[in-house]
Amino acid sequence: MNDPDPAPHRRRPRGRWAVTALPAALAVLAAVCAVTAAPRPYELGPRSGGDTELAAQVRDGITDPTGYHGLAVAVVEPDGYGALRVRTAELGGAGTGGDPVGRRTLFGSASVAKVLPGMLLADMVDRGELTPDTRVGDLLDGLDFADPVLSGVTVEELATHTAGLSREETSLPQTLWQFAAKHHPEPPGSVEEFLEDVAGRARVDPGLRGTNHYSNTGVDLLGHALAARAGTDYADLVRERILEPLDMDDSAVWTDGAGPGFGVHDADRGRPLVPDRAEANSPSGGLVTTAYDLGLLLAAVMDGSAPGAGAVLPVAPGDVERREQGLGWYVETLGGVPITGHGGNATTNGHTAWIGYAGGRGAVVLSDTHRFSEDIGIRLLGVEESSPDNAAGERLYGAATALLALVPGLLALGFAARRRPGVLWRRPTDRLGLLAHGLAGAALLEYARLAGFWHLVSPWAWVAGVFLLAASLAVGAYRWPELPTARGARRWARWVLVLPVAAAGTALLAALASL
C-alpha cells in the first residue's frame, strides 16, 4: 500500500520559499537600486572667474572641495592710495545647467542679512529718530502683546539677542521638514499677521533676558519695528538707507511679490532658492546679493562711511567667552585676532555666507550649498584657526546623518529576526510590527537621503542602511507564514499602536516623494 504522504514535513519549506521568493527578490532589487540612488555630494568645479590670484588663493585654502558647488568671494584691502578696494573671484557652477558663477551671480546671504537691522538701528540713533532704549511696544503701539514684558523689550536687546526670546516660533516637526525640503514652511501671509502672531505667542524668558540667546524672531521683530518708526516697509527702508547709498545695485531684500528667490540657484535642491520663509522674516535672512555688493558694504563699514557703521562696536556679551556682540555684528577672537563679522548657515535652505574683517582686511564668501563657508573667509583674512562652532556643528550634523541612515535598517532587521522577548523588545516579531518597521524605515531612509549632510558622511552609509532594510524585508518575508498578525493578550491594543506608525511612514514617504 502506497503512503499518500511519506514526508509531509518537506512540503512546508517549499511552500514557504514559494511565498517568499518574490519579496526576497524585491529586497535584493531594492538593495541594488540603492547604489544608483545614493546621495552624491557636490564637488567644487574647476572653473574660475574674476581675480585669478584670489581664486587660486581660495582653492589652495580648501583642503576638501566636497560639498561645495558654486562660490563667490570678495576681499577688501587697501589700494595703496589711502582707500579700500574690492577684489572678487568666482569658482564652480551657478546652476544645474553648468553655468559658471559670475560677478553678478545672485546668492542668498542667510543670516549675514542680520547685520542690516543692526545698521539701520545705529543709523536711526545717529539721526535722532530713536534711542537704544526705545521699547518695541512704543514702535508697534497697535499690537496687543500677550506678554507685557515683551512690549518693554528695547531695540538694543533685540539687536543683540539679549531680549530673552526663543530662536524662532517654529515647531520641531516644521524644523525637521525644513531639512528635507530645503525650504521653510509657509509663514504667516503678511508682515501684519507675523507681528500679530508674535505678539500673541512669543514670551520673554526671564532666565535668558540679558544673556545672548540667538533669536530669529527677535531680529524680525526689530526690522519691522524700525520700518514702522520710519513709516515704510522693511525692504524699502534697507534699500533707501543702505543699498542705494552704497551702490549695492544687485542686492535686494525679499518681498512677497518678488518671485521665487530672485533667480538665485540652490544647488542642494537643483532649483531656485526659497529665501528664509518670506517678507515677514526678511530681516533675519531675506537679503539676496552678490559678493561684490557685500564687499562694498564691508568696505564702507571698515572706513566708517556706511550708514550705521557704529553697529560693529560691541555693546553686549556674546554667546561664548571669545565673542562680543554688536548691533547685529559679532566680534570674535580667533588665533588671537579680533574678527568683526557675521556668518550665515541656512542649513535648511541650501546656502551659506560669511562677512568679516580684521584690521585693514575684509572678506566675503557666498555659497549655494549648505556646507559651512566661514573658514574660507577666515583664511582669507590670514587667520589659520578655524571656527570651533562650525567644527562642532559639522560633528553633530555628520553623526546625525550617519545615525539616520543606519539605525532604521538595524532596528527593522533586529525586529524581523528576533524570536523571543529580550532586553530591548517586549514581544517577538509579528506581521504588524514588520509592516510598521518597513514603512517607517523606508521613510526615514528617504528623509536621510534628502536632508543628510553627505559631504560629512560617506554616501555609502545610506547604501548600507538600504541593504539593512532590504535584509529585514527578506528575513521578514521568509518568516511571514509562521508569524501571527499581532501578538499580545490585548491584540486590539497592538493594532492601535502600530497602525498609526505605518500610516505616518506611508504619509511621510508620499510627502518626500513630492519634493
Q: How far is CA 379 from CA 74, 113, 281, 358, in A?
A: 13, 22, 31, 11
What pLDDT is recorded for position 475?
Answer: 86
On the question of pLDDT at 339 being above 50, the answer is yes
Is there a contact between 158 and 172 (Cβ–Cβ < 8 Å)? Answer: no
Q: In angstroms, rounded to a whole number, what is the distance separating the alpha carbons of residues 165 and 147? A: 11
Q: In angstroms, rounded to a whole number, what is the distance separating the alpha carbons of residues 308 and 58? A: 30
On the question of pLDDT at 267 being above 90, the answer is no
Q: Which residue has the higher pLDDT, 10 or 76?
A: 76
Percent of the chain topping pLDDT 90:
48
- 10 Å CB burial of residue 59 (0-12, 13-18, 19+) is middle
Average pLDDT (250-266) is 71
Tell me what the pLDDT averaged over the chain comes to.
84
- Interstrand relation of 252-253 and 84-92 (parallel, antiparallel or unpaired): unpaired
On the question of pLDDT at 298 being above 80, the answer is yes
What pLDDT is recorded for position 272?
Answer: 61
Q: How far is CA 328 from CA 46, 94, 157, 198, 214, in A?
A: 35, 29, 11, 20, 11
Confidence tier at 343 by pLDDT (50, 70, 90): very high
What pLDDT is recorded for position 150?
Answer: 96
Is there a contact between 276 and 310 (Cβ–Cβ < 8 Å)? Answer: no
On the question of pLDDT at 104 being above 80, the answer is yes
Confidence tier at 497 by pLDDT (50, 70, 90): confident
What pLDDT is recorded for position 431?
Answer: 87
On the question of pLDDT at 472 being above 70, the answer is yes
pTM (predicted TM-score): 0.85
Confidence tier at 172 by pLDDT (50, 70, 90): very low
Give the model confidence (pLDDT) of 32-50 as tens digits.
Answer: 777 788 888 888 989 999 9
Q: What is the 3-state secondary structure (H, E, C) of 145-204?
A: CCCHHHHCCEHHHHHCCCCCCCCCCCCHHHHHHHHHHCCCCCCCCCHHHHHHHHHHHCCC
Number of H helices, E strands in the chain: 17, 14
Architecture label for domain 70-385? 3-Layer(aba) Sandwich (3.40)
On the question of pLDDT at 122 being above 80, the answer is yes
Q: In angstroms, rounded to a whole number, what is the distance separating the alpha carbons of residues 388 and 370? A: 17
Q: Which residue has the higher pLDDT, 71 or 10?
A: 71
What pLDDT is recorded for position 136?
Answer: 97
What pLDDT is recorded for position 6?
Answer: 43
What pLDDT is recorded for position 12?
Answer: 44
Give the model confidence (pLDDT) of 202-256 as tens digits.
Answer: 999 999 999 999 999 999 999 999 999 999 999 999 999 999 999 999 999 988 7
Average pLDDT (323-340) is 95
Q: Which three cell numbers stand for residue 204?
A: 520673554
Q: For 223-274, give the DSSP string.
A: HHHHHHHHTS-HHHHHIIIIITTTT-TT-EE--TTS-GGGG-EETTTTEE--
Q: In angstroms, rounded to a whole number, what is the distance separating the alpha carbons of residues 497 and 491? A: 10
Q: Where are the domains of the chain?
A: 21-41+394-513, 70-385
Q: Which three cell numbers stand for residue 271?
A: 532649483
On the question of pLDDT at 137 being above 90, the answer is yes
What pLDDT is recorded for position 4?
Answer: 46
Of 231-235, 286-290, 303-307, 368-372, the one with minimum mean pLDDT is: 368-372
Confidence tier at 179 by pLDDT (50, 70, 90): low
On the question of pLDDT at 147 being above 90, the answer is yes
Give the model confidence (pLDDT) of 442-464 as tens digits.
Answer: 888 888 888 888 889 999 999 99
Q: In angstroms, rounded to a whole number, what is the distance separating the alpha carbons of residues 104 and 63? A: 27
Average pLDDT (480-505) is 78
On the question of pLDDT at 324 being above 50, the answer is yes
Q: For 97-121, give the DSSP string.
A: T-PBP-TT--EE-GGGGGHHHHHHH
What pLDDT is recorded for position 43?
Answer: 87
Q: Which three cell numbers stand for residue 375?
A: 573658514
Is there a contact between 122 and 327 (Cβ–Cβ < 8 Å)? Answer: yes
Q: In angstroms, rounded to a whole number, what is the distance separating the alpha carbons of residues 74 and 355? A: 9
Q: How many residues does the chain have?
A: 515
On the question of pLDDT at 116 being above 90, the answer is yes
Give the model confidence (pLDDT) of 363-384 as tens digits.
Answer: 999 998 888 889 999 999 999 8
Is there a contact between 459 and 41 (Cβ–Cβ < 8 Å)? Answer: yes
Q: Which residue has the higher pLDDT, 7 or 255?
A: 255
What pLDDT is recorded for position 13?
Answer: 47
What pLDDT is recorded for position 422?
Answer: 54
Mean pLDDT comparison of 183-187, 345-349, 465-469, highest-scoring range = 465-469
Confidence tier at 404 by pLDDT (50, 70, 90): very high
Q: Which residue has the higher pLDDT, 318 or 245?
A: 245
Average pLDDT (81-103) is 87
Percent of the chain topping pLDDT 70:
81
